[in-house]
Structure formats: C-alpha cells, structure tokens
Chain A
C-alpha cells in the first residue's frame, strides 16, 4: 500500500505519474503484441493456407494445386491483382496443371443459424464434385450430419448442374427431396430427420450455382490458363 502513496507524493504531479504509467504500459503492451504477432503471423498464414487447400482439394478430388481468383465487377482477376471486392473462387488443378474444378463458398440459413460451405464445381462434367461445411450451428447428432454423413455427402460427388441452353442459369434446379425419394441426378437425398438442414445445402448450392456457373463458364479459358 505504502508504495502507491510514495509515488503520488510531490515533487512529481500525479497526472504526470498517470500519464507516464499509462504510456509506459501501453508501449510495453504494443511491443509485446507486435512481437508475438510477427512471430506467429507466418505460422498462422500457413495454417490458414493449409486449411483452405485441404478444403479445396477435398471438394475437387484429385487436385494438386490451386489458384485464387476474384470474380467481381471487373470480371475475373487473380486474387493478388483484384482491387474492387468480389467473390473469391479457388481454381484447382491436377499435377499436370489442367483445370480440375472450381471451389467457392455458399451460405444459407439452416435449422439454427447460417450454414457456410465450400463446394467444388467441375465445368467439364457440369456437375458439383463435393462439399465441405465451413461453419454451422446445426443440432449435434441431427443436422450436423450434413458435415460427415457419407450417404449424404455422396449426393455431391457428381451432382448434375448442367446449364440451361441460354447459358444463364441451371437446366434443373437443385432441390432436396425427402430421404429415399431421390429420382434424378440433380436432386439431393435428405438426411432423415434433418430435412431442414439438407434443404439449406441444396438451396445454397442452387442459388450460388444459378449465379456463378454461367460466369465461370464465361471465364473458363482464363481459369484454364491459370491467370
């Protein structure tokens, strides 16, 4: 206790002491944080890169490398060059550098909250090639099966997403049907008891696909060329 009082005694004014202490502590804090930030930054970025890569490679099977593009008002640009915002899409290539597919994000409200996924699209077969759930708050044991239920994920291994003749939308809307009622390759067989979550996935792919697939087709050459 006595220590504090000593500090406050003249000749130095209390406000000087306050400023000095606050300033000192803030400096120290800033320094510490910057230090840690500098050390961890490359590791974290690497972690993030690996995470994205893993996800992209999962939704575009067989991919070995990827390039990031931004699809926006300026058209298709490599991520590094993009100025104005737009949607990031990840083009994935095989070991020989041939375009295997494109991965992108989609989101929609599920049972509890917004579900975000990354999904892959193969322009060659005009089909969806896989999904990975990035974020969700669905009920464990029920809705959260969309992330790992093999039967459900199988829906997206070659989900028909052909473009309509006008090339401005999908030929068949991607829809979810009740468990066991799948009859067409563009339908998603729901998880039983989690129809809402399943429908959310189908809906988000449909919405995103209606918009994105025609654009991707338009810029296909650029994507194939890799930049």
Chain B
C-alpha cells in the first residue's frame, strides 16, 4: 500500500488508475473478497455487483467528502457506516425494481456491500481528507478496480464452468463444463490462480531487472 496522502491531492490520471492496478482492492489489498468470490459464478452477476459497489463507493465518498469538515472525529466511523448503509439500502431496492431474477441471484450480497471494507476504507482513508472531486475520481478508480477483479473471476468461472460468457455459448455445444468452477472451491481456485499468475509475472520482471542490472555492472 502506498503512503496515504495527507495533503489534499490534485486530481491526476493516477488518482484514478491507482485503484485499478497498483492498489487494486482485490488483487493487491485482498479486501472485500467475500462478494468477489460469492457472486462471480457468472459474468452477469459480476457486472451487477461491480456496478452496485461502485455506485455505493462513489456516492458515499462524495457525501463523506462533503461532510468532512463537520463530522467530529469520535463519531466518524459511525457516521460513515450510516451513510454507506443508506446507499446500500437504496441500491438494494433499485435492483429489486430492475430485476427480481438478478436480485435473487446476488442474494444477500447486495446488502453485504455494507460490510465491504473497501468502501469504509476509502471513506476513512481518502474521502474524509480530500476534496469532493478527487474523492469521486479515486472512488471511481477503486470501483473500476473492484469491477475488473470481479470480471476477471466471473468470466473465467463462467467460461470454464458453463462454457458461456454472459450466457452466450463460446465453446462448441459439446463442451464439457467444469462444474467445479461455479462451485465454491472453484472461486478459491480461480482467485488463487490469478494471484499466482500475478506473482509469477512480478517475480519474472524482478529477475529480468536484476539480470539486466547485473549485465551492466
């Protein structure tokens, strides 16, 4: 985790991109894993969850940032939680209004967005100290990072587990799905495999860097 900015920050591309990669809440910080694993047995669910989370993230960051000068220290966490819970309740009803099927597929995990520490973490570590603009951009970045992670899992799991993406047949009709991928163990395995891949690439890069330095000196 890079040092948290204490001074108010200028909005740069980095404010957004940080959440997408360098501080990716799922792959790097390993936060909010429960929804990531629970709802990614299909791409559709992953997208819906990503959007819902991003919305709550952005909305609560905005409000927290707006109110940052009037919230006393002692009650700030309580306040944040109430704010977050409010937006989650809103999302919950909106999704029910949009599609009951989707709502049933996501189960309790919409409401559990409240417990997702990415959101509380952003509120506490960033939005409470930054201007609204920067907070929104940062929250969008984090939301995007979270959504990308959900998609990384959702597509792999749906593709292998059902042979489809977003319900469209990708492989030949005779493809034998790997059911385990949409079962709970599959969630762990796929996330584990992504982390392995990232670690492998990182180590390879470091080795190359070392090698090239060695060659120079």
Contacts and interface: CB of A to CB of B under 8 A. Distances in A.
B96 A40 contact: yes
B166 to A, nearest CB: 16
A25 B179 contact: no
A36 B177 contact: no
B132 to A, nearest CB: 13
A204 to B, nearest CB: 20
B94 A140 contact: no
A43 B73 CA distance: 40
Q: Among B6, B73, B85, which residue has the most Cβ atoms of chain A within 10 A?
A: B73
Interface residues of A, number: 31
Given A4-B73, A6-B69, A141-B179, A32 B86 contact: yes
Nearest to B74: A18
Interface of A is mostly: helix
Given A37-B93, A40-B96, A47-B97, A4 B69 contact: yes
A22 B80 CA distance: 10
A212 B74 CA distance: 58
A40 B72 contact: no
B69 A3 contact: yes
A44 interface: yes
Given A4-B71, A36-B89, 19 more contacts: A6-B69, A7-B70, A14-B72, A17-B72, A18-B72, A18-B74, A21-B67, A21-B72, A21-B79, A22-B82, A29-B86, A36-B90, A40-B94, A44-B93, A47-B99, A47-B100, A51-B100, A140-B179, A141-B177
